[in-house]
Amino acid sequence: MAKNWLITGASSGLGRGLAERLLARGDGVVATLRKPGALDDLRARHGDLLQVVECDVTDVDAIRAAVAHAFAAKTRIDVVVSNAGYGLFGAAEELSDAQIDRQIATNLTGSIQLIRAVVPRLRGQGGGRIVQVSSEGGRIGYPGFSAYHATKWGIEGFVEAVAKEVGPFGIDFVIVEPGPTRTNFGAGLDRATPMSVYDATPAGEIRRLLDAGYFEFADAGKTVDAMIETIDSPSPPFRLALGKSTYESVRAALVTQLEILDAQKAIALSVMEGA
């Protein structure tokens, strides 16, 4: 049975990949993007199955208008994919105020406001699924990506709480956590002006790795396929780790965190009243 999807940030990368595959199988898609015309080829191929809405997710009014358009165009939206976002690289000291503000407005506030805008509509139709595209950077931290991690850790915390609030209404969530993937993420990476004082630090090392393209990349098509298969499942996992880097890095971080927590058990319990 065909579904209807709302996908933000659909002009390229995983967002476009989702739109291409979903349209090819006959699903309806409302795609939001900042660049008019980026999906003209898909519109020519799929006609009314695809609705395109220009939307900058840093504009709350534009988000609400796009959501209203989506639900008017398709009557029912089965899946909302919050995908719009980009990366920001630079040691915290190197970042400008404007870079930090834009990163938070796009990746965190934009995602929050999209979810807030769709929840009452999903509740009104009796349920639906919200997919938040996060990153392995929503569970671990790399030097040079502090602001990016702040947005991804932040949106994962927001989703954890909201999922508990709206579960009784038949609304559920999937948080997708890709690692390095062969998309245009690197090309769209915003970079701070480097300070030489960081050259011999871990932030400088990561900068050199970025310049050299030294990463194990996941295949974008396989990543999109895994996302769709999981989202189609009647009972998907709350978090979906995608890629070798994500699995290995997140697992190692969780094991370490658990070891540290267990070592603190005595002092943690010692502060309770009557202890």
Q: Which of 82, 134, 135, 146 is catalytic?
A: 134
Check if 146 is active-site. no
**Residue 174 DSSP label:** E
Q: What are phi and psi of 7, to 5 degrees?
A: -125, 120
Token couple for 181: 């993937």
Close Cβ partners of 13 (under 8 Å, ≥ 6 residues apart): 83, 183, 184, 185, 220
> Cβ neighbours of residue 234 under 8 Å, at least 6 residues apart?
none
Active site residue 214: no
First and final C-alpha spacing in the chain: 58
Residue in 148, 198, 245, 249 annotated catalytic? 148
Q: Please indicate whether residue 74 is annotated as part of the active site.
A: no
Distance from C-alpha of 131 to C-alpha of 231, rounded to nearest angstrom:
8
Phi, psi values for residue 206, rounded to 5°: -65, -40
Q: How far apart are CA 57 and CA 220, in angstroms?
A: 23
Tell me which of 152, 198, 245, 249 is the catalytic residue: 152
Q: Are 42 and 50 in contact (CB under 8 A)?
A: yes
Query: Hey, which residues are catalytic here?
Result: 134, 148, 152
